[in-house]
């Protein structure tokens, strides 16, 4: 459990908060590139770390990220005209470029103009991997641009999506790094049923509760859930947690026309606070070699993140607390453990059900929560480091080529001997097609 004071410390992320200052040391994903597809197109509202911002792509294709409110009379610039390399307030015609400079004042005669004295808060942006990123911290503390593997492959070989979750970023993050809930919350009650979930025949389920092993690293930690299988061997599912809001997780896709073969893809999540009660959950994956990500896979039907489950203009889930996450009690008895459709939709339901910010002083944690406990300690340490004038973990580039791996390891074989080299790959031959009996069926 956490004390109420520490709980407040690492859940509150607005301007001037201790955790907010830590998060401002990292590049954060804020928009899909397609949300700002056209120069001089419609501005887009952005909310991050408790700040209301507006983004626009100017005539030359540059992206500006500004305070949403005009410094003249505090009108929303989302109403503004995006024209001729600037965003113009519709109230009195003050216009701002992507660097936050006021370049024109329509309501002030030329001799009275003081545009050169007016500047609006703005943040730098980057476009990488189909995402618009921003850095909201001190310019002198800006780290190198993000370079996750999915940002370095062709668009045909990666997929990125996002959904807004209605709870604190921390409980969404904790749900993501918790491996013991997967064969419970996400379990299908029947094999090959109509509703997706963890197949009851999978090693996830047959292996029972996991033993967690965790190793601290310079970027956070790596951890593995290890399950003994009744027929012998152990199912090992190994992840990376990268401070402050990133997880790399194993995933594989079945090859079309080859049900006995699977190809591994790299996958993961970012959990980015919008404010203290809302966060953006980012989902990414990419494939290797010649196999692109197929259109049907981009719908993320099984995960509940795609257009069947999430409004692609607001990025709000269709099934939410106001309609009880679409829980189907009949399906809960006969088809899936939760009765809720979509693996990540199930995650959102349980996390949002805790309330906007859960009181962690009321928890009763056990050994299966080792990864969550370690993550909280890292965040508290990061707060202390930044307050002392230092740099928090993972502001460098040491982790961009890491992989998360799942394998069935035979009895008598140390899982670290075979799995760890794959988690820190040196050659792409480790990333190709693998036998299906060495990986978990997709969930």
Digits of tens for pLDDT over the chain (443 positions)? 799 999 999 999 999 999 999 999 999 999 999 999 999 999 999 999 999 999 999 999 999 999 999 999 999 999 999 999 999 999 999 999 999 999 999 999 888 899 999 999 999 999 999 999 999 999 999 999 999 999 999 999 999 999 999 999 999 999 999 999 999 999 999 988 888 889 999 999 999 999 999 999 999 999 999 999 999 999 999 999 999 999 999 997 766 666 566 778 999 999 999 999 999 999 999 997 788 999 988 999 999 999 999 999 999 999 999 999 999 999 999 999 999 999 999 999 999 999 999 999 999 999 999 999 999 999 999 999 999 999 999 998 889 999 999 999 999 999 999 999 999 985 444 434 334 344 443 33
Token representation of residue 318: 């269709």
> DSSP assignment of 163-188, as one string?
EEESS-HHHHHHHHH--TTHHHHTBB
CA distance 59 to 36: 12
DSSP H helical ranges for 212-328 = 295-298
Cβ neighbors of 206 (< 8 A, separation 6 or more) are: 227, 229, 230
Closest CA to 170 of 361, 9, 383: 9
Structure token pair of residue 288: 């290797």
Give the fold, CATH level 3, of 27-141: Rieske Iron-sulfur Protein (2.102.10)
Rounded-to-integer distance, Cα 426 and Cα 423, Å: 9
What is the Cα–Cα distance from 271 to 29, expressed in whole angstroms? 9
Instruction: Decide: residue 286, CB within 10 A, 0-12 exposed, 13-18 middle, 19+ buried.
Output: buried
User: How far, in Å, CA of 306 to CA of 315, rounded?
Assistant: 9
pLDDT at 260: 60
Contact 407, 415 (CB under 8 A): yes
What CA–CA distance (Å, rounded) separates 328 from 166? Answer: 21
Q: Would you tell me which CATH number, out of the four given (3.90.1330.10, 3.40.50.2300, 3.90.380.10, 3.90.1640.20), belongs to the domain 149-438?
A: 3.90.380.10
pLDDT digits (tens, 9 = 90+) for 222-234: 999 999 999 999 9
Domain ranges of the chain: 27-141, 149-438
Contact of 420 with 215, CB cutoff 8 Å: no
Read off the pTM: 0.94
**Residue 214 and residue 331: Cα distance in Å, rounded?**
36
Q: Which of 329, 328, 325, 330 is nearest to 346 (CA)?
A: 325
Show Cβ contacts of residue 25 under 8 Å, excluding neighbours closer than 6 positions.
Answer: 137, 141, 143, 386, 391, 392, 395
Check: CB of residue 55 under 8 Å from CB of residue 24: no
DSSP designation for 69: B
Burial class (CB in 10 A: 0-12, 13-18, 19+), 259: exposed
The whole-angstrom separation of Cα 81 and Cα 95 is 9
Is the distance from CB of 317 to CB of 283 less than 8 angstroms?
no
End-to-end Cα spacing for the chain: 30
Residue 46, number of CB atoms within 10 A of its CB: 22
pLDDT per residue as tens digits for the range 78-120: 999 999 999 999 999 999 999 999 999 999 988 889 999 999 9
């Amino acid at each position: 459990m956490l004390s109420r004071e520490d709980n407040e410390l690492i859940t509150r992320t607005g301007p001037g908060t201790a955790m907010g200052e830590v998060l401002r040391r990292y590049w954060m994903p804020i928009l899909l590139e397609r949300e700002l597809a056209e120069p001089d197109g419609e501005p887009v509202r952005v909310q991050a770390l408790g700040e209301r911002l507006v983004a626009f792509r100017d005539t030359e294709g540059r992206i500006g990220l500004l305070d949403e409110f005009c410094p003249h009379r505090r009108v929303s610039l989302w109403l503004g005209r995006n024209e001729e390399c600037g965003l113009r307030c519709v109230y009195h015609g003050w216009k701002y470029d992507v660097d936050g400079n006021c370049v024109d004042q329509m309501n002030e005669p030329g001799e009275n103009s003081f545009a050169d004295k007016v500047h609006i808060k703005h943040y730098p942006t980057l476009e990488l991997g189909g995402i618009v990123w921003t850095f909201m911290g001190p310019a002198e503390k800006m780290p190198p641009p993000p370079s996750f593997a999915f940002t370095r492959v062709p668009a045909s070989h990666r997929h990125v999506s996002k959904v807004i979750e209605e709870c604190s970023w921390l409980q969404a993050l904790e749900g993501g790094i918790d491996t013991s809930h997967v064969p419970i919350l996400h379990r299908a009650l029947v094999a090959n049923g109509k509703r997706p979930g963890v197949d009851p025949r999978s090693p996830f389920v047959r292996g029972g509760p996991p033993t967690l092993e965790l190793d601290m690293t310079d970027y956070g930690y790596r951890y593995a859930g290890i399950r003994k299988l009744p027929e012998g061997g152990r199912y090992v599912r190994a992840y990376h947690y990268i401070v402050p809001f990133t997880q790399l997780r194993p995933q594989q896709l079945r090859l079309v026309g080859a049900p006995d073969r699977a190809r591994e893809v790299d996958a993961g999540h970012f959990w980015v606070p919008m404010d203290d009660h809302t966060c953006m959950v980012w989902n990414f994956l990419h494939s290797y070699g010649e196999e692109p990500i197929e259109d049907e896979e981009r719908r993320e039907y099984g995960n509940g993140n795609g257009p069947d489950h999430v409004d692609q203009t607001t990025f709000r889930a269709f099934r939410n607390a106001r309609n009880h996450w679409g829980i189907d009690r009949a399906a809960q008895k006969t088809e899936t453990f939760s009765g809720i459709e979509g693996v990540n939709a199930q995650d959102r339901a349980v996390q949002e059900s805790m309330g906007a910010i859960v009181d962690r002083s009321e928890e009763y944690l056990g050994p299966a929560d080792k990864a969550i406990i370690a993550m909280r300690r890292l965040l508290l340490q990061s707060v202390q480091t930044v307050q002392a004038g230092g740099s928090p973990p993972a502001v460098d580039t040491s982790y961009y080529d890491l992989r998360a791996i799942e394998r069935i390891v035979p009895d008598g074989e140390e899982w670290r001997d075979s799995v760890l080299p794959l988690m820190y790959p040196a050659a792409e031959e480790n990333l190709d097609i693998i036998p299906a009996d060495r990986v978990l069926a997709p969930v």
